Amino acid sequence: MSPLPAPGGPSLPAPRADLAMREGYHSAQVGAEVRLNTNESPYPPPPEWQAELLAEMAGIAWNRYPERAARALREAIADLHGVRPGQVFAANGSNEVLQALCLAYGGPGRRALTFEPTYALHAHIAHLTGTAVVQAERAGDFRLDPAAAAAAVSGVRPAVTFLCSPNNPTGLVEDPETVEAVLRAGPGILVVDEAYGQFAATSALGLVGDATPLVVCRTFSKTWSLAALRLGYAVAPGEVVGMLERVALPYHLDAVKQAAGRLALRHRQAMEQRVAGLVAERERLVAAMAALPVRVWPSQANFVLFRPEGRAGLDVWKALVERSVLVRDTSSWPGLDGCLRVTVGTPAEDDRFLAALAEVLT
Ligand code: PMP
């Protein structure tokens, strides 16, 4: 038997060549009193939900694997949206849904199309699954014209096209005409990421059907105040759901998560009240920012993109961190020169942010 490699012996094997040049996901997790950088809800879920979950956990058969198809959870999600459970795929955060989509419909020799600037993980996850990524650009105002979107799809012929509505980090919603134009242009699957869907007035959910190559992704991380839970889902044609199940690891949804998600859906009204409160607070925040030397983009999400005038984005970000206010530095992202993104927090948090920003900029 040959000896194990000794210290100083041959180095570790090289990873996949196409990963060597890629950085992992990066979002600064620096300590700050006011954290407005990751678009979480500033409010916890209802205490009744927590009590119900604790009671339910007493009945879990811990020595057994969880129910593999997550049937009850998918039924509850299907009820929420008026679709069949067979049109719902649930996973560990909507990021895992996106990964499953790329595994099933992307992969070597296939292309994914994004419209930048948008959620960076669309391109990142596609790359990780060996899918080639074509990054088309939005217009200067970050809008995506239906004809331009359709032309990109016809030219690139992607296996997967990503839209994000409201779009992270710009906050803009996609016009329904754009969604329909992409669907008509085909080929491939259109993924509309609606992680912030309930903050906006429009949704692509109504277009989902078994004969339409459309997948809408949602998450419990934002509007449901459950970022710690890591639960997201897709509403999709039944055939697509079958493919996503095929690429998901067996028992990927643990028993606690299944119960927690199902019980959360009983508190829909509380969720809608939190969302309405955050939308009103967003409007207050945007109105207050109008008095400062920043450009602000209109948002239909729980965050606001802004560009300080005459100041480098990174300098402003650092000055805010010095005042214990953490926002997202998007200033080095393609197409977002000088921009920062702030999550809508509680009124007290937003006041801290506004005061710090005013101090830094004036
Ligand atoms: N899509 C978008 C547009 C997001 O902004 C996020 C979270 N930042 C996600 C998906 C991932 O959410 P989850 O926590 O469900 O993985």
pLDDT digits (tens, 9 = 90+) for 266-305: 999 999 999 999 999 999 999 999 999 999 999 999 999 9
In CATH, what is the architecture of 47-266?
Answer: 3-Layer(aba) Sandwich (3.40)
Cβ(165) to ligand 1 under 6 A? no
Q: Give the three-class secondary structure for 346.
A: coil
Cβ(232) to ligand 1 under 6 A? yes
**What average pLDDT score do residues 21-27 get?**
64
Question: Is residue 26's pLDDT more than 70?
Answer: no
pLDDT score at 3 = 74
Count CB neighbours of 123 within 10 A: 19
Q: Whose CA is nearest to atom 2 of ligand 1?
A: 195
As a whole-number percent, the residues of the chain with pLDDT over 70 amount to 97
pLDDT score at 9 = 67
For residues 187 and 189, what is the distance between their CA atoms, to the nearest angstrom?
Answer: 7
| Å from CA of 335 to ligand 1 middle | 20
**What average pLDDT score do residues 94-112 get?**
98
pLDDT score at 30 = 81
In tens, the pLDDT along 34-70 reads: 999 999 999 999 999 999 999 999 999 999 999 999 9
In CATH, what is the architecture of 17-45+269-361?
Answer: Alpha-Beta Complex (3.90)
Name the residue of 89, 98, 119 whose CB sits within 8 Å of the most ligand 1 atoms, as the mutation to test its pocket: 119
pLDDT score at 25 = 62
Question: Is residue 159's pLDDT more than 70?
Answer: yes
For residues 205 and 170, what is the distance between their CA atoms, to the nearest angstrom?
Answer: 21
Question: Is residue 27's pLDDT more than 90?
Answer: no
Question: Is residue 23's pLDDT more than 80?
Answer: no
Nearest ligand 1 atom, CA 122: 1
Question: Is residue 14's pLDDT more than 90?
Answer: no
In tens, the pLDDT along 318-334 reads: 999 999 999 999 999 88
Confidence of residue 209 (pLDDT cuts 50, 70, 90): very high
Cis omega (within 30 of 0) for bond into 187: yes
Cβ(49) to ligand 1 under 6 A? no
For residues 291 and 91, what is the distance between their CA atoms, to the nearest angstrom?
Answer: 42
DSSP 59-97: T--TTSPPPTT-HHHHHHHHHHHTS-GGGEEEESHHHHH
Residues 328 and 38: beta-carbon distance below 8 Å: yes
State the pTM of this model.
Answer: 0.95
**What average pLDDT score do residues 122-147 get?**
95
Confidence of residue 7 (pLDDT cuts 50, 70, 90): confident
pLDDT score at 258 = 98
Annotated domain spans of the chain = 17-45+269-361, 47-266
Cβ(197) to ligand 1 under 6 A? no
| Å from CA of 138 to ligand 1 middle | 20
DSSP symbol at 29: -
